[in-house]
Structure 1
């Protein structure tokens, strides 16, 4: 069960700005059909449980293909045409969350879902004006960090492939590779160019960041719910509790979702016994996720939300609210209350199809409506123009501290 997120070594992700940027909002989970369309010699084959396709006029497709081959002014890429048919078929559902992935797109999506890949451990972005590829973030203890690469370094080339000449997705594939192999990275820093050799290694993408805000309140930032988020969350909470944490702020403002199993596993660590979320398909079949009494976090808590808080993150916020287990602060969430299932195809591609609606423990469907927090508060940066972001200058975090200290003082 997954939600696509920004890719490590692909796009700007972890750096917090003074104002909210657009979160990455995409869909979760599994698939009910397998489609194989083969266009070559104008053959269109369908396999799997597709039901009737009487309305699909294959002769029309054949005629269109004939016209394209006759009139189009350049050579025709048959593979690209075939991929376009697959994508178009899914687009016909008029559902932005039901999509076809090429083999490369599916590979990238799975890297993001698992939170692990072989690479150098840097987050890259490409300037649309200059074409320069820049490092946004370097993960701690990563190959990039060990090689001395830093945030804001400009990556000039990787093994001779120039960043300005390549599409960012393609450039990232030059950066990633087999564990233990080496790449030569040419980079620019403060106007000076240098070259460094970096050995690729398995990288675990951090989806949890944490710190003590004062002597009593801990802060846990959750960027997504991937395969490794639960382990990172448990390690963070244990460390914070060892430092004297008596209350906690969970920051979901940039969390576009992730794995249902991941978020419900974390809710199982937090909440007492009960239903944390349930899903219903078009036939009324219900799937229920529950928490038990084996673990429970008994302390005041705040959940920060925004319009970027979506899907699995809304499952988290909805459960905390319905259990009356914490205070939600911020702005209304995105409102993605449907789930998808992803099925890989034999050629390495995959499809993702919306298959159910999910409901909060109280039975509320939040799709297209979102969750309104207990305390509605627009984000405001409290610092000056020359100051950089800090939690002490974040009005929503400061409101959370105020609420929690009031509870601790009771």
Structure 2
């Protein structure tokens, strides 16, 4: 399992994982009435009065009569709902159509029907590159390799999609359906038909760094629905290999599910609060670890500016419990929590509802977490290979991993 961090540490990629930098916990609130979500609130007047309703009907009529393309009533209604949520001026709050909500649940579950390849876009380009091909996947069977450029899917070219997420969603589809992929390798294009199948996306990667010293490595790439189980399996397997100390890596982790990160912290830490959350009325929810399990293994945690949200909950708890040493650069600084609230028609609304605090009471929103040891990432290998299909990444050339191993070796020698 030693194909980690690859060239994504050498080039800046936005990975095609749409769960993104948000902490999501689905709850059901209220009910859908006439297409709107209403909560009983005696302190506010009815949102849509006669004046607002009349204006909406006028705008609808103008669109239907004058807009140069046909717009369905469903699309207009969805635009209305999206606009209402957008009034919060919050990039993390949004309205999901039923189709979009199904995609969100698929992505956060860690399972989807697709080709089994992780895609990325080099910063500032519209090129789509294969950053990883999963074992026993349709992509592997079709011959796709890391660093192949995906030119198009079913005739739709990559550069015509505004975001990588849109292109990834286009490639995904129903299980057993076909998608025609045109890819480029060494300047030559090739077309291949790939049959989609259900893919379980691993969120944890692990291996031994130093068998003799017993130093292991666990990268948590994202906190999806399977992450705690994957993490526990990784830790147990490394222990069977003689684990005595571990490097945890959340450098490229954009966040994910609250219950998964707090579950992992419960596995590791002694009794105490691991994170607390407060809403605008000051109501607090806390997550805690108990005494049933506690790992007394020396550790370091690698962080970067792309460590966000749930990854920062993880790093913040490790820091405040003085459980391990944080190495790398300051984290992203997303200290707010979103809740996704389903509606009866299959749609959903995601809203930022709370601010979270580390065990010491620190609010890290918009300021991030400063590591104990600040160390810029510097890959010491060959970054300028003309043949990008050759992966030159090696943890021995990763200065942050090497610093982590150095610290752990000193701790083990005490």
TM-score range, shorter chain: 0.7 to 0.9
Preserved contact between residue 29 and residue 352 of structure 1 (Cα < 8 Å): no
For 1:277, the equivalent position in structure 2 comes to 275
Matched, 1:106 2:120: no
Distance across 2 between alignment mates of 1:60 and 1:245: 67
Deviations 1:272-295 (A, max 9, x none): 122111222233332221112222
Q: Corresponding residue for 2:116?
A: 121
Deviates further, 299-308 or 96-105: 96-105
1:195 positional shift: 5.5
Gaps of 5+ in 2: 386-391
Residue by residue over 1:25-54, the C-alpha shift from the partner in whole angstroms, topping out at 9 and shown as x without a partner, is 23433468668698xxxxxx6442164355
TM-score, scaled relative to structure 2: 0.83
- 1:409 paired with 2:399, answer no
Cα displacement (A) at 1:210 = 1.4
1:262 to 1:187, Cα distance in 2 relative to 1, 3 A = same
Contact 2:23 2:257 in 1 (8 A): no
Q: Find the counterpart in structure 2 of residue 309 from structure 1.
A: 307
1:29 to 8, 19, 25: 25
- Residue deviations 1:366-391, cap 9 Å, x none? 22222111111222222344363322
- Alignment of 1:152 with 2:147, yes or no, is yes
Q: Which of 398, 401, 412 is 1:397 aligned to?
A: 401
Alignment of 1:40-119 (within 5 A): 46-49=36-39, 51=41, 52-54=44-46, 57-119=52-114
| Residue ranges of structure 1 left out of the alignment (5+ in a row) | 1-12, 39-44
State the TM-score, normalizing by the size of structure 1: 0.84
Give the C-alpha shift of residue 311 in structure 1: 1.0
CA distance in 1, matches of 2:279, 2:7: 38
**1:189 Cα shift?**
3.9
How many matched pairs? 391
Select 1:298's aligned residue among 291, 296, 299. Answer: 296
SS in 1 for 2:210: coil
**Residue aligned with 1:79, SS:** helix
Identify if the C-alpha distance between structure 1 residues 37 and 137 changes in structure 2 by more than 3 Å, giving closer, same or farther: farther
Give the conservation status (yes or no) of the 8 Å contact 2:222–2:254: yes
Q: How far is 1:174 from its partner?
A: 5.6
Distance change in 2, residues 1:53/1:47 (3 Å): farther
**Offset at 1:187?**
4.6
- The C-alpha deviation readout for 1:264-316, integer Å capped at 9, x for no partner, is 11111111122111222233332221112222211110011111111111111
Distance 1:372 1:87 in 2: 36
**2:193 aligned with 1:212:** no
